[in-house]
Amino acid sequence: MENGVCRWFVDISKWNPSNQEFSFLLSLLPLQDHSSITRFIKLEDRKRAIVSRLLQYAVVHEVLGIPFDEIIIKRTIEGKPYLNTHQNNLRFPNFNFNVSHDGDYVGITSEPLHIVGLDIVSHVIPKQETILEFIGNFSSHLTSLEWDNIINAGTCNEILAEFYKYWCVKEAYIKAIGVGLGYRLNRLEFQHINWTNISVYVDGKESSEWKFCLFELGKAHWRVSFWHDLWCVTRPLALVYPSLFNACDLKLGKLNEFYKMEGETASVARGHPGSAVEDFKRTLRLTELKEIDDSLRIGFTGSFMLRTVDQLLPDSFRASYGIYAD
């Protein structure tokens, strides 16, 4: 990683570790990380948690060459992970990273100068809830422009996908700046041309120092669930949301078949370190230099590389891991 930029993800759907394999991987991490992994009851949640930690140590080791057992990763007050080091000769003085996991994927992204955020979101909705009801739960976090774009996106599937895209870029932005749950997402408005040339407006003002990349992880597929639900029963709702009403073909006003989309969208947000919240900014070394401003003009890509769990381990650990993984 000569340039300090890393984009990795792990597909955990086909990784089914034995108890011995999981215990070995856990032993490679500091004791303070163990409880945040073992507190989960479900294996899928434990898998996401341990791969998330391994990705962080693997990227620091790969990019900066720090041995696994010398890496110290802490979290800011707001919960953003960062490398805790007192080395003054780091090759990338602003080296920072962000992780995300949802569904089948766990990912990480890093940057040498800019601050970076990553969000992965699965395209699923709860049972017993219509698409309109589901996205309506989040309407207060969207601007009127964003809401209109979502509702008029086309078919039910396209409406849901459009919502997830907006949600994904918003989450990537707030994770990049290191802010917590108290940040009002409707302060952000994202504008784009078919999800290219994405720009963000914060409190109505464009923040031109930000770059965004949005893409799909894997292939979306569909499952069908059956239930009886009331939706678009009244004429006024059909008038308010005609594209939604017509796209779903609800002639009787009742939804008897609902297609639940499954797949993942990921977004990478990259911006000027001066945008970071104060607690996170204190972990960075360069926040105002002109070289950062100039580097923002460099092309930006969110292309990810697929990694397996064993590829996250240093060579010295892989032989031992192979004993448990076979």
Residue that wins the pLDDT comparison between 216 and 311: 311
Strand residue runs (E) in 54-104: 73-75, 81-83, 96-102
Residue-level pLDDT at 262: 61
Q: Do residues 108 and 114 touch, judged by C-beta distance below 8 A?
A: no
For residue 99, give the nearest of 107, 91, 88 by alpha carbon.
Answer: 107
**CA dihedral of residues 223, 226, 230, 236 (deg, nearest 10):** 40
8: how many CB neighbours lie within 10 A of its CB? 20
Q: What is the pLDDT of residues 13-71, one digit of tens each?
A: 989 999 999 999 999 999 999 999 999 999 999 999 999 999 999 999 999 999 999 99
Residue 123 CA to residue 263 CA, distance in Å, equals 5
Phi and psi for 92 in degrees, rounded to 5? -120, 90
Beta partners for 97?
110
**Structure tokens of 221?**
């597929």
Q: Whole-prediction pTM value?
A: 0.84
Domains of the chain from N-terminus onward: 6-114+272-325 (3.90.470.20), 125-208+219-264 (3.90.470.20)
What confidence tier does 2 reach under pLDDT thresholds 50, 70, 90?
low
Q: Are 307 and 61 in contact (CB under 8 A)?
A: no
